[in-house]
Amino acid sequence: GGAARNVAKQSVRQPLAELAVRVAMDEEVATVKRFDQLIRDELNVKTVTVHPPAASPLLSATAKFNGKTANAKLGAKKKDAEAELAKRDARELAKQLRAGAVEFAGVPLDANDVLIEYAAQPGYAGTADGRGREGVVATTITEELKLEGIARNVVRLVNTARKEANLDIADAITLHLGTSAELLAKAIAAHRDTIATEAQASAWSETPLGDGAFRSEVKVDGHPLVIEFRK
């Protein structure tokens, strides 16, 4: 799941709608379901869908030679080897390469010489572990998910400011968040209770706190944010 997020280039703070996994063994279906909440929390996804090994693959697989290593080994046999490679099933080939070298045009090549690449259907991004397991995440970010992701970044920045102010983790604060950015303001309003809880804000001020308050000017996704709080 984490690798799938990396492929999607999505920070773990940005909630995603779904993680779909295809497991390698039937027993793993029950395992994924048992730890559904843990997986959702760790990967910040709303739902986890599990597919058994007999289900259709979540990813398409293709194979190609790694020119940096394979060309020197193949030499004049490269064209014949490429013709053989085109006829191979990429998934089956991946299994064979895990077990050892595979011959192409009479030349043994190993897993470093043959690259197996995976691609998800539109709207998803993912990867495989090479042992039969696949994971894909939904890449469509709705406005609701976007606002939640922004709010998570606000929480991170407020808690960073708390550390800069040398507050104890249990210290309650009166918090003011000021911004001229419409999207950021909307995210703060939509997730005000969550921000307050995560930042230990027992009181919320709609107006700047003024003298004596800790103040920090930061940016959230390029939008300016003023953080002010008083213990």
pLDDT in tens, 88-134: 999 889 889 988 999 999 999 999 999 999 999 999 999 998 788 99
Q: To the nearest 10°, the Cα dihedral for 141, 145, 151, 157?
A: -40
**Mean pLDDT for the chain?**
94
Select the more confidently predicted residue: 21 or 91. 21
Residues ≥6 apart with Cβ < 8 Å to 221:
150, 153, 184
2, 133 in Cβ contact below 8 A? no
Average pLDDT over residues 11-35: 95
Question: Model-level pTM?
Answer: 0.79
Summarize pLDDT for 179-224 with one digit per residue, the tens: 999 999 999 999 999 999 999 999 999 999 988 899 999 999 899 9
The pLDDT, as a whole number, for residue 95 is 87
Q: How far apart are CA 91 and CA 95, in angstroms?
A: 7
Average pLDDT over residues 26-40: 96
Q: How far apart are CA 112 and CA 73, in angstroms?
A: 12
- Single-letter amino acid, residue 57: P
Q: To the nearest 10°, the Cα dihedral for 166, 170, 174, 179?
A: 70
